[in-house]
Structure 1
Amino acid sequence: MPKEQSLQRAMEYIEKNLTNDISYFDIAREAGISVPHFYRLFKRLTGDTVGAYILRRRISMAANDLADSDKSIVNIAFEYGFESHDVFTRAFSRVYGMSPSKYRKSSTSAPLKRLTVISDQPVMDEHQMKFGLLHTEGFAVAGLECRAVQWDGDGAIGKLWSEFLARLEKIELTPDAVTMYGMCEHEGCKDGVFTYMAAIGINSFTEIPPGMTKKFITPQNFFQASVPDRISTPDAYAGAIGYARSLGYVIKDNDMIEVYDGTFKNPDVNRFRLLIPVM
C-alpha cells in the first residue's frame, strides 16, 4: 500500500475516534506499518507529533460544538477526553488565544482544519538491503522495556512503542534527541522470548522519568543493514544475520539494535538501520 494511502487511512481512523482513547499502536495498525515508522513518517509530514495533532483536532471539534450546540463546556471537555474543565480551558486557550466561554460568545475564529495527506515527493522504491561495517562510539539511551516473543507474535513490542512514544510527548527533550532505538537484548533470551527496549538517545547525565530505564551501549563494531520498506522486520534480521555469517563474521552476544534516525536517507523508503554486533 502506498505510504500516502496508509497515512490517509490513519488520519481517517483518528477522525473517527476523536472522542475515544487513541493509541499509537491502534493508529499504526490501521496504517499497516510499525509504530516507530509511523511516528517518524507523521512527524516528517506534519512537523509535529501525533499526540499534538490529535490534541489540536479534539480542541477544533470542541470549538465546533461551542459554536453550534448548547452543550455545556464541562460536557464538551469530557466528551473530547479532557479530565477537567480547567485542563480543557488551558489547552483551548493555548490554541485559540481565548477561553472556551469567550470563544462561544464571539465565534469569530475558524476551527482548525484536519490534515489531508498529499504527496509532493516522487515515488521511490528499493527492494534490497544495503550492507556495511560500522564502528560506534559509546552512547546512552533511555526507554521502556518489555518481554517479547519472536517476532512480536503477541503485539507486545508494538504496544511498548505506543506507550513509550506517548510518554515522550511529556518529556522536555533537547533538539539533538532525534534518534530512537529498538533493542533486542541478548541477556536471558530463551525459547524465543527476550527483552526488548524502545528508547531514545540521551546525554549520559540526563535525568530520566520514573519507570524508564537508562542504558549505555559500549563502543563496538556492527554489521549494518539499511532496511527498505518492502522488507519485513523478521526478514531483515534473518537476512542481515545470515549474510554477515556468510562473509565470515562472528555474531557477538550483544544487543541487536534498530536505529530510527530521522536524518537517515528517506523514511518513506528506509524504515530503519539494523545493527548486528560482530567481532
Structure 2
Amino acid sequence: MKPANPRQYRELQTIIDRIENHLDGDIQALPLAKELHISPWHFQRLFKSLTGDTLGNYIRGRRLTQAALLLRETPAGILEIALDVGFHSHEALTRAFKSHFGQTPKQFRANSDRASLQQKPQLIPELLSHRWHDMQLEPTIEQRPARHLAGIATQIPSPFLSNAAYCHLLEPAWWQLLQHCPQLPVTQADTFYGLTLSPSGTYTETDVTYLTAVAVPEDFKLPPGMTSHSIPAQTVAVFDIDIVEADTVNKTMDIIYGYWLPSAPYYRAEGNDYEYFTELTDFTKAPGGSQYVLPVTKT
C-alpha cells in the first residue's frame, strides 16, 4: 500500500519526530494513533506499511542506535545512557544491546571498529521518499553465477561507518576503466560493477576499497594498474534503484540494513555488496538506474 497523498508523509513525519524526541519515555501506540484520529490497530498497520517496520521494532532500534552513538561519542556511564534512551536499568540495556549488536555496551565502547550494519537510521523525509519513490520495496531473490572481474580500485571512507561523500573520488576510476574497456575481453556487454571490498570481510575498516569493474574471463591477464576480483556463485537480494545520485547508495543501504533485513527471512551472507549497471552505453550522462545487490542466506 503506497501513500495516497503527501498528507500521510507529513503526519508520519510528525509521529516520527515525536518518537525521536521522547526516546527516554514511555511511547505507546494509543496517543500516537489519536493524533491521526485513527484506531491503534489501524495506526500500527499504517506505520508498518509506510516504513516497512513495526512501531515496536522502530522504537527499539532507534533507542539502541542512539545508545550506540552515545557510547561512541560520549564518556557517559552505561546506566546514564540506558535511562537517556528509555531503558530502566543497566541490565535491560545490556541484554537488548547484546541481542541486537552481538556485543555488550562495554565491549562496543572498547571496540574501535564499529560498523553500522545493525543500526537503525532515523526516518527523515529524504529517506522515506527514497524508500517509496526511488527503489524497489521488496527485492528479487536470485541465484547468480560466479563472475571474474577486472577493474580500477579506489580507497574511500567506509559507507558502513560514515556518511561522508565519496562519489567525487570514483569519477577518475570510472573514466580509467572506460579507457581500458576496448582492450578487455568483456563477457557481459554494456554491464558494469561497483563493489565495496572489505579486507576483513566485516566492513569495520575506516577506509575500504571501491572497485569499478567489468566481467572478464578468469584466465585473463590483467593490464598494469588494474585489479581482479572474483564473485562466487551465490544467492543474492537484488533491489532495483530508479535513480543514481551522490547519496543514493547511502540512502539505499540505510533502508536495506535498517529496515528490510531486520524483518526479512534472510541473513546477510558472506561476500560483498555491489552496484550493478546494465545497458550502460552513454557515458556523457548519469545512469538512469542501477541494482543494489547483497549476498543473503535463509534464516
Q: For this structure pair, what is the TM-score category when the shorter chain's length is used for normalisation?
A: 0.3 to 0.5
Larger strand fraction of residues: 1
- Normalising by structure 1, we get a TM-score of 0.47
